[in-house]
Amino acid sequence: MSQQRMQGQPMIILGEDTQRMKDKDAQSHNISAARAVAESVQSTLGPKGMDKMLVDDLGDVTVTNDGVTILTEMDIDNPTAEMIVEVAEAQEDEAGDGTTTAVAIAGELLKNAEDLLEQDIHPTSIIRGFNMASSKAKEEIGEIATEVDPSDEEILKSVAETSMTGKGAELNKDVLVDLVVEAIQAVTVEADDGSHVPDLQFLNIQTQTGRAVSESALVRAGVVDQEPVHPEMPSEVEDAKILLLDRDIKMTEADTDAQLVLDDPERLQEVVAREDEQLEALVDAIADSGANVIFCQNGIDELAHRYLAEKGILAVRRVKKSEIEHLAEILETRLVGDFDSISADDITEGKVTRDEDDELFYVEGSGHGATLLLRGSTDHVVDELERGVNDALDVVASTVADGRVLAGGGATEVELAGRVRDYADSVEGREQLAVEAFADSLELVPRVLAENAGLDSIDTLVDLRAAHEDGDEHAGLDVHEGEVVDTFETGIVEPAHAKEQAVSSASEAANLVMKIDDIIAAGDLSTEGDEDEGGPGGPGGGMGGMGGMM
Ligand code: ADP
Ligand code: MG
C-alpha cells in the first residue's frame, strides 16, 4: 500500500492482497480484539483473583497474577490488542500497580461504547463524553482522597498489604510488609520544601533461592554477590577506598601485538613476560590511585589476581550491573571506564564487610541506600515474590510522595460512579449517554472483585450503591469477609495517584481504539476459526493469535 496525493486529495493505493474494513465494521473488529485481551486478565483482579500460567516458546513457565506480566508475556500480535497492552505498560511505569484495574476498565468502556455505537451515536460524541467523565472522575478523586502523614507507618503498611494480597507474596505478608515500608523509609529524603521524596534508585532487590521467605531482610548497604578473586585478599575492609570499574583489568588487544606469528617458543615466552609486566604496571597504577577495594563489572585477568593480592587490594570481578550501579548511588560516585582518567574523586571512602554464610559483600558509603534481600525456596517462588514486592514498593513510594490514599475494595469506584452519574445530568446532548456509560464502567471493579471471590456481583453492587447513597464514601467489598464494610477502616487502602492514573489510562486506551474507523491491512484481516462466527467483528474477532497463552 502506498499513499500519494492527487490534487490535494489523499489517495490510497491498495495492493492486491490488501483487505480493508471501514467505519462500524472497523470499530467493532477493534473493540472485540481489545475486549478479548481485557477480559483475559479480569479473572486475576483482586485478592481472590486466579493466577495464570504462561508458557513461552522454550517451555519456560511463569505463574503469575500480575496484569502487566501476563499481557507482556502473552505475545499478542494483533495491533489493537497491543494498544491495550500498552495501557498496562504505561500504568506500570507511571504507578507501578493497578494494571489489571486499568485494563479491565478499558475493556468495559469499550463494551459500553459498543452499545452506544449500535444506537448510532457517533464515536466522536462518545470520545468527548469519556474525556469529560474521566476529567470529572479525577477531580472527584481529589475530593474523596484522604490526606495522610507520609511517616505514618500504619497507613503505609496497609497500602503495602492491600497491593500484596492475592499475590505470591501474601503468605509471608507480615514479614514483607514491614520490609517494604522500612525499605521505602530508608531511601526517602525530605526535600527543602518539606515534601518527602522516595528515591527507588537507592534501593536494590537481591534475590536468593534455597531459603525461607521469612529470612528475607533489609540491609542498609549495597550488596555484591561475589567473592574475592584471590584467597589471600582481605574480605573485609574497614577504611575502604573503593573504585568501581566498568572495564576489564587486562591488556587490551591494542596493547599487545595482535599480529605476532608465535611459532618460536622463546618469542612466546617473551610476549607472555611482557604482558605480565604490563599488567603489573596497570595494577601498580591502580594501587597508586589509593584504591584498596575494586568492584569490577567485567573481568580481571588471572595474572593480575596475585599482584592485586600482594598489594593488599580486595578485588571482585563480574559484579552484576544492577549491583554496581546501586553501589555508585550509595557511594555517590561514578563507574570508571578508562584508567587514564581515574582521578581522586573516583575513589570513595566506605566500609566493606562480608557475610560468609551468604557469600555476600555489604558495602556502606556516604549516601543513603538499602538492599532488600528477598529469599524463597525456588526461582518461581522468588520471581512472583519479587513482582508482588515491586508493586508494594511502588505504591508505598507513591503514597509517601503524594500523601493521599483512597478506600479500596471497589469503594472508590462506586463513589466515583455515583458522582460521575450526578454530573451526567448537567451534560447536554449525546455526550450525556457516554458520561453515564463511563460511570457504569467504573463499577466493573467491585463487580469483578465479587465475582472472583465467588460472590454474587449484582447483590454486591446493589449493597454498595445503597451504602454510598446513604453517604458512606468508604463502603467497599472485603472479599475475605464477603461483606460490604468500611474498607478504609479495615485497612484496605490504595494510593490516590495510582487510581487517577488507572482512570486516565483506561479512558485514553478506549478512545484510541474507537478513533480508528478504517483498517487497511496488507494481509488477511480475519483469523482462523472465526469465519463461521460472522467474520471479523464476531466474538473474539481478529485476535491475530495469542501465542504463548495457555
Ligand atoms: P491491579 O493490577 O489493578 O493492582 P490487583 O489484582 O492487585 O489488580 O487487585 C487490586 C484490587 O483489589 C483493588 O481494587 C483493591 O482495592 C482490591 N483489594 C485488595 N485487597 C482487598 C480486599 N481484602 N478485599 C477487597 N478488595 C481488595
Ligand atoms: Mg495490584
Reply yes or no on whether 209 is catalytic.
Answer: no
Pocket test for ligand 1, best of 94, 165, 390 (most atoms within 8 A of CB): 165
159 alpha carbon, closest ligand: 1
User: Under a CB-based contact definition with an 8 Å cutoff, are residues 405 and 474 in contact?
Assistant: no
> Ligand 1 atom closest to Cα of 101?
3
Reply yes or no on whether 100 is catalytic.
Answer: yes
> Ligand 1 atom closest to Cα of 413?
14
Q: What is the pLDDT of residue 168?
A: 67
Which residues does 395 contact at the CB level (< 8 Å), separation at least 6?
95, 96, 97, 159, 160, 162, 163, 494, 495, 498
Q: What is the pLDDT of residue 189?
A: 86
CATH architecture of 153-220+376-402: 2-Layer Sandwich (3.30)
In the reported structure, the alpha carbon of residue 133 is separated from the centroid of ligand 2 by a whole-number distance in angstroms of 24
Which protein residue has the closest C-alpha to ligand 1 atom 26?
409
> Comparing C-alpha atoms, which of 413, 329, 335 is closest to residue 104?
413
Q: What is the pLDDT of residue 544?
A: 39
Which protein residue has the closest C-alpha to ligand 1 atom 4?
98
Q: Quick one: how many helices (H) and strands (E) in the chain?
A: 17, 22
Which protein residue has the closest C-alpha to ligand 1 atom 9?
46
Q: What is the DSSP string of 285-318?
A: HHHHTT-SEEEESS-B-HHHHHHHHHTT-EEE-S
From the candidates 97, 246, 391, 463, give the one annotated as an active-site residue.
391
In the reported structure, the alpha carbon of residue 93 is separated from the centroid of ligand 2 by a whole-number distance in angstroms of 13
Integer Cα distance of 288 and 549 in angstroms = 58
User: Under a CB-based contact definition with an 8 Å cutoff, are residues 518 and 433 in contact?
Assistant: no
Q: How many CB atoms lie within 10 A of CB 189?
A: 11
Which protein residue has the closest C-alpha to ligand 1 atom 12?
46
Pocket test for ligand 1, best of 84, 162, 390 (most atoms within 8 A of CB): 162
From the candidates 62, 64, 80, 100, give the one annotated as an active-site residue.
100
Which protein residue has the closest C-alpha to ligand 1 atom 20?
162
Q: What is the pLDDT of residue 128?
A: 96
Residues with CB under 6 Å of ligand 1 are 44-47, 49, 67, 97-101, 162-163, 165-166, 408-409, 445, 449, 477-480, 492, 494
In the reported structure, the alpha carbon of residue 446 is separated from the centroid of ligand 1 by a whole-number distance in angstroms of 9
166 alpha carbon, closest ligand: 1
In the reported structure, the alpha carbon of residue 395 is separated from the centroid of ligand 2 by a whole-number distance in angstroms of 9
Which protein residue has the closest C-alpha to ligand 1 atom 1?
98
> Ligand 1 atom closest to Cα of 477?
25
In the reported structure, the alpha carbon of residue 45 is separated from the centroid of ligand 1 by a whole-number distance in angstroms of 6
Kindly report the backbone phi and psi dihedral angles of residue 119, in degrees, each rounded to the nearest multiple of 5, phi listed first: -85, 15
> Ligand 1 atom closest to Cα of 45?
6
Q: What is the pLDDT of residue 514?
A: 85
Residue type at 60 in one-letter notation: D
92 alpha carbon, closest ligand: 1
What residues form DSSP beta bridges with 382? none
Are β-strands 293-296 and 314-316 bridged in parallel, bridged antiparallel, or unpaired?
A: parallel
CA angle 82, 86, 91 (to 5 degrees): 150
0.75 surpassed by pTM: yes
Helix 411-424 to helix 431-442 angle (10° resolution) is 170
Integer Cα distance of 17 and 521 in angstroms = 9
List strand residue ranges (DSSP E) for 356-505, in order: 360-364, 370-376, 404-407, 475-478, 483-486, 493-495
68 alpha carbon, closest ligand: 1
Pocket test for ligand 1, best of 41, 45, 64 (most atoms within 8 A of CB): 45
**Sign of the Cα pseudo-torsion (500, 85, 40, 376, in order):** negative
> Ligand 1 atom closest to Cα of 408?
16
From the candidates 66, 346, 383, 472, give the one annotated as an active-site residue.
66
Integer Cα distance of 36 and 33 in angstroms = 5
Which protein residue has the closest C-alpha to ligand 1 atom 3?
98
Pocket test for ligand 1, best of 71, 100, 103, 390 (most atoms within 8 A of CB): 100
In the reported structure, the alpha carbon of residue 163 is separated from the centroid of ligand 2 by a whole-number distance in angstroms of 5
In the reported structure, the alpha carbon of residue 379 is separated from the centroid of ligand 2 by a whole-number distance in angstroms of 21
Are β-strands 61-64 and 222-224 bridged in parallel, bridged antiparallel, or unpaired?
A: unpaired
From the candidates 99, 371, 412, 487, give the one annotated as an active-site residue.
99
CA angle 166, 169, 174 (to 5 degrees): 100
Q: What CATH number belongs to 22-146+407-514?
A: 1.10.560.10
pLDDT tens string for the chain (550 positions)?
445 555 555 666 666 677 777 777 878 888 888 888 888 888 889 888 777 777 777 777 777 777 777 777 777 777 788 888 888 888 988 888 899 999 999 999 999 999 999 999 999 999 999 999 999 999 999 999 999 998 899 999 999 999 988 776 667 888 899 999 999 999 998 888 888 889 888 999 999 998 888 999 999 999 999 999 999 999 999 999 999 999 888 876 555 555 555 566 777 777 777 888 888 888 888 888 889 999 999 999 988 999 999 999 999 999 999 999 999 999 999 999 887 777 888 999 999 999 988 899 999 988 788 999 999 898 888 888 898 899 899 999 999 999 999 999 999 999 999 999 999 999 999 999 999 999 999 999 999 999 999 999 999 999 999 999 999 999 999 999 999 999 999 999 999 999 999 999 999 999 988 887 767 777 666 544 343 333 333 333 333 333 333 3
Q: What is the pLDDT of residue 542?
A: 38
In the reported structure, the alpha carbon of residue 164 is separated from the centroid of ligand 2 by a whole-number distance in angstroms of 7
Kindly report the backbone phi and psi dihedral angles of residue 319, in degrees, each rounded to the nearest multiple of 5, phi listed first: -75, 135
Integer Cα distance of 546 and 550 in angstroms = 9
Reply yes or no on whether 66 is catalytic.
Answer: yes
Domain residue ranges in the chain: 1-19+523-550, 22-146+407-514, 153-220+376-402, 226-368
| Cα-only R_g, the chain | 29
Domain 226-368 has CATH 3.40.470.10: no
Q: What is the pLDDT of residue 34?
A: 83
In the reported structure, the alpha carbon of residue 451 is separated from the centroid of ligand 1 by a whole-number distance in angstroms of 13
Q: Is 20 exposed, middle or buried (0-12, 13-18, 19+ CB in 10 A)?
A: middle
Q: What is the pLDDT of residue 5?
A: 54
CA angle 532, 534, 537 (to 5 degrees): 130
